[in-house]
Amino acid sequence: NLGVILDKILCFSSNDKIFKYFLMKYFGLLFMVLICTSCSKDGQHDSTNVVGEWRWISSIGGIGGWTLTPKTEGFTKKLKFTDHDFLIFKNDTLIESTIYSLNEINDSTRGKFFLLKSSNGLQYELVLQQSKLELIESCYDCYVHFYER
């Protein structure tokens, strides 16, 4: 019982029952707030959490600003991020597997994005917006790849 524990810890006398009553209420309220704020709903993705599968929607870039899609290119692509691995699939066949790291960047002009570095030397800028991901190649005239969960 919480009341008995508080009596022993704080050495309450029988004259302090009102104080003990309010103290127990506040501890209970604090406990409920901590429980409620630490819970999360299953199936929801944190907007800063890249872990999961991402389906390719389109890519825009190159010197001509071309737009590529699964329909125009005749294949699908999928990215899969685990806690440490970055996997790339083409038509559901694994074509690349590497270990990655993410570093958060807060730029005054561009806002928040992540720098993705892979163990095979690839480097991308990564922008997360709810269930959308932009993977930006780190070179001039390169592509921006758009994915959805």
SS3 30: helix
Select the more confidently predicted residue: 66 or 48: 66
Mean of the pLDDT values across residues 18-47? 47
Q: pTM of whole model > 0.75?
A: no
Phi, psi of 34 (to 5 degrees): -65, -40
Q: What are the pLDDT digits (tens) for 65-86?
A: 999 999 999 999 999 999 999 9
Q: What is the mean pLDDT of residues 34-56?
A: 61
- Write the Ramachandran bin of 43: left for phi over 0, alpha for psi from -120 to 50, otherwise beta: left
With 60 as the cut, is the pLDDT of residue 32 above it? Answer: no
Residue 121 binned pLDDT confidence (cut-offs 50, 70, 90): confident
